[in-house]
């Protein structure tokens, strides 16, 4: 066995005092760390850009809603419907195209926006986009990117027969400043 060229150092031999010093230092670190804990982790974002996101809810179902349309002895029928978040509150609304379920002819349409409050028994109508009193028929109805668009068929005068609308207009509705605003894209009206 070869001898070491370096003489033995005094601190390479462990003594009981070394163990006591190490144990005391370790106990001090553990005690201090118990008081210095990081903040609790949360999934919430902080700062001005953080926005509360409600849980995803089902869109309102128009079945059983009392629509503000006069149908006499027949019932109101939902012809078309689409759902999406129209006002940016994180909860979906439903837009329903409704008409009287008449056996013949082409009764006018109404277009209604429905919402349902959390815990409410059924949805309610919060806006009328097309009133049936306007005598319009809705076709090419879509809801995309919080915008409702439709082609509206109407009449230039009361003398035009109900079977043959002579006006064709594109319309779109968007939620702005607390209300649905209707606009007509340029060149969208024809006779």
17-72 pLDDT, tens digit per residue, is 877 878 888 787 777 776 666 555 444 444 455 455 455 588 999 998 999 999 98
Q: Which residues contact residue 17 at a Cβ distance below 8 angstroms, ignoring those fewer than 6 apart? A: none
pTM: 0.67
Residue with tokens 């329903």: 96
DSSP 8-state symbol, 133: G
Residue with tokens 């606009």: 183
pLDDT tens by residue, the chain, 191 residues: 556 555 555 556 677 887 787 888 878 777 777 666 655 544 444 445 545 545 558 899 999 899 999 998 899 999 999 999 999 999 999 999 999 988 776 789 999 999 998 888 899 999 999 999 999 999 889 999 999 999 999 999 989 887 889 999 999 999 999 999 999 865 444 54
Determine the Cα–Cα distance for residues 171 and 61; give it in Å rounded to an integer. Answer: 24
Q: Which residues contact residue 59 at a Cβ distance below 8 angstroms, ignoring those fewer than 6 apart? A: 83, 84, 92, 93, 94
């Amino acid at each position: 066995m070869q001898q070491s060229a370096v003489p033995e150092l005094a601190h390479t031999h462990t003594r009981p005092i070394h163990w006591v010093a190490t144990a005391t230092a370790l106990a001090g670190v553990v005690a201090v760390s118990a008081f210095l804990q990081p903040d609790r982790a949360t999934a919430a974002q902080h700062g001005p850009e953080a926005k509360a996101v409600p849980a995803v809810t089902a869109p309102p179902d128009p079945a059983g809603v009392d629509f503000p349309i006069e149908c006499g002895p027949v019932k109101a029928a939902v012809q078309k419907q689409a759902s999406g978040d129209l006002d940016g509150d994180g909860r979906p609304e439903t837009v329903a195209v409704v008409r009287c379920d008449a056996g013949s002819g082409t009764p006018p349409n109404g277009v209604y926006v429905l919402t349902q409050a959390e815990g409410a028994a059924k949805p309610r109508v919060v806006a009328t986009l097309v009133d049936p009193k306007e005598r319009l028929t809705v076709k090419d109805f879509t809801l995309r990117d919080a915008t409702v668009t439709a082609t509206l068929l109407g009449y230039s005068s009361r003398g035009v027969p109900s079977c043959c609308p002579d006006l064709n207009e594109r319309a779109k509705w968007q939620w702005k400043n607390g209300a649905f605003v209707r606009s007509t894209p340029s060149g969208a009206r024809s006779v």
